[in-house]
């Protein structure tokens, strides 16, 4: 199978490329190298002789000139929720027009699609109302996990809107032109090769700051660090994508929620403790109490459907994720510090 990974020099894309090349697939990447750290990841692809097409995904004229691929794994996005407040053009062009372009070519080439969607397709209002206790000074108690049947109605951030719209476009093209697809609605993903920032990749940012004895802030919800997320190890996601590719002729046209689940979840405060243990450093953490209207207090995924269909389960918990990021960062500290 001849595979194109869009966003192939990003955190998820590079890991997926490197995982699949070891499984003997023919793998190429498309990335405009706009993300900090993407040039470093490109050097890893080059070592494995994986070609990157340095193309802007929203430019159909350029995109359609690429060769034919059997499968597109769409990992190309402006993935920071807060960016989608300020730079809506960039988010629309990359996330929505990008998917549209992929679909137009997939229709002609009869390519299959695996789309990396997001837990941000769920509405802010629902997520804000599903916690048991509203006292920001206390640990957040979860009432419900989220699955494929949870509502997607209501404002969700422009980022979430573009991801849900892309999902709907994929379903339309599949219906009309028989394009086979899988949609994975992922919660937080983390692991090596992630150049974290506050609103995209907070786990790797936390480890980096601890490793280098730099300052951090708990932002929002009073600044107590009680926000909670499940976190999926990138290797667990790669394993799932591999299973999905193997079964795509039999199992397709489905949407899954995919996340670390109860097996791998953490609040920021707990993450600090794990980072302190693993790095041996204790850093200063400030408080910024104001909460962004795009922030959510918690997210934990219910993986029942994806586990049942693929026999897949999360193997690596948050401690293992921190250990693996720490291993990568400490080994490559000098080469990668300019990307943080
Ligand atoms: N990382 C997560 O926690 C997470 C969670 C849920 C869903 N996702 C989804 O997974 C996918 C990958 O996310 P990631 O964390 O690897 O993000 P990332 O920012 O690390 O990677 C995205 C890559 O796309 C490239 N890119 C951006 N705009 C482009 C454009 N217009 N044309 C061509 N290339 C462009 C960037 O250079 C970057 O290398 C995204 O679709 C994201 O929505 C990620």
Is the CB of residue 251 less than 8 Å from the CB of residue 184? no
CATH fold for the domain made of 2-339: Rossmann fold (3.40.50)
Burial zone of 65 (CB within 10 Å; 0-12 exposed, 13-18 middle, 19+ buried): exposed
pLDDT for the residue numbered 220? 92
Going from the Cα of 31 to the center of ligand 1, the distance in angstroms, rounded, reads 9
> What are the start-end ranges of the E strands in the chain?
2-6, 26-30, 51-53, 71-74, 112-118, 181-186, 188-190, 216-219, 228-233, 254-258, 265-267, 285-288, 298-299
Nearest to 217 by CA among 288, 296, 271, 281: 288
Q: pLDDT tens, position by position, for the chain (340 residues)?
A: 999 999 999 999 999 999 999 998 999 999 999 999 999 999 999 999 999 999 999 999 999 999 999 999 999 999 888 888 889 999 999 999 999 999 999 999 999 999 999 999 999 999 888 776 667 777 777 667 889 999 999 999 999 999 999 999 999 999 999 999 999 999 999 999 999 987 789 999 999 999 999 999 999 999 999 999 999 999 999 999 999 999 999 999 999 999 999 999 999 999 999 999 999 999 999 999 999 999 999 899 999 999 999 999 999 999 999 999 999 999 999 989 999 8
Mutation test residue for ligand 1: of 17, 30, 35, the one with most atoms within 8 Å of CB: 35
**Atom of ligand 1 minimally distant from the CA of 37:** 39
pLDDT for the residue numbered 321? 98
Does residue 56 have its Cβ closer than 6 Å to ligand 1? yes
d(CA 227, CA 201): 15
d(CA 79, CA 117): 10
| 3-state class (DSSP) for residue 178 | coil
Task: Identify the bridge partners of residue 69 per DSSP, sorted by sequence position.
Answer: none
Domain boundaries, the chain: 2-339
Does residue 102 have its Cβ closer than 6 Å to ligand 1? no
């Amino acid at each position: 199978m001849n595979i194109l990974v869009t966003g192939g020099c990003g955190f998820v894309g590079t890991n997926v490329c490197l995982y699949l090349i070891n499984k003997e697939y023919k793998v190429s990447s498309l990335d405009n190298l706009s993300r900090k750290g993407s040039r470093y990841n490109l050097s890893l692809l080059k070592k494995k002789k994986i070609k990157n097409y340095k193309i802007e995904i929203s430019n159909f004229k350029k995109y359609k000139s690429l060769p034919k691929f059997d499968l597109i794994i769409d990992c190309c996005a402006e993935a920071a929720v807060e960016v989608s407040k300020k730079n809506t053009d960039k988010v629309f062009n990359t996330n929505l027009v990008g998917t549209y372009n992929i679909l137009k070519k997939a229709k002609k080439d009869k390519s299959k699609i695996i789309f990396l969607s997001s837990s941000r397709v769920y509405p802010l209002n629902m997520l804000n109302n599903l916690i048991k206790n509203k006292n920001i000074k206390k640990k957040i108690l979860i009432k419900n996990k989220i699955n494929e049947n949870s509502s997607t109605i209501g404002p969700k951030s422009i980022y979430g809107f573009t991801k849900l719209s892309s999902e709907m476009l994929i379903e339309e093209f599949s219906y009309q032109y028989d394009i086979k697809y899988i949609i994975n609605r992922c919660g937080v993903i983390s692991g090596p090769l992630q150049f974290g920032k506050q609103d995209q990749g907070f786990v790797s940012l936390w480890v980096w700051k601890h490793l280098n004895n730099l300052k951090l802030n708990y932002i929002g919800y009073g600044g107590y660090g009680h926000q909670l997320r499940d976190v999926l190890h990138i290797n667990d996601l790669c394993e799932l994508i591999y299973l999905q590719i193997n079964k795509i002729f039999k199992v397709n046209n489905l949407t899954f929620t995919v996340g670390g689940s109860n097996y791998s979840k953490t609040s920021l405060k707990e993450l600090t403790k794990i980072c302190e243990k693993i790095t041996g450093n204790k850093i200063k953490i400030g408080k910024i109490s104001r909460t962004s209207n795009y922030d959510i207090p918690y997210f934990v995924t219910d993986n029942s459907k994806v586990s049942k269909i693929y026999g897949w389960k999360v193997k690596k918990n948050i401690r293992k994720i921190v250990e693996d990021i720490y291993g990568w960062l400490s080994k490559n500290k000098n080469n990668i510090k300019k990307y943080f």
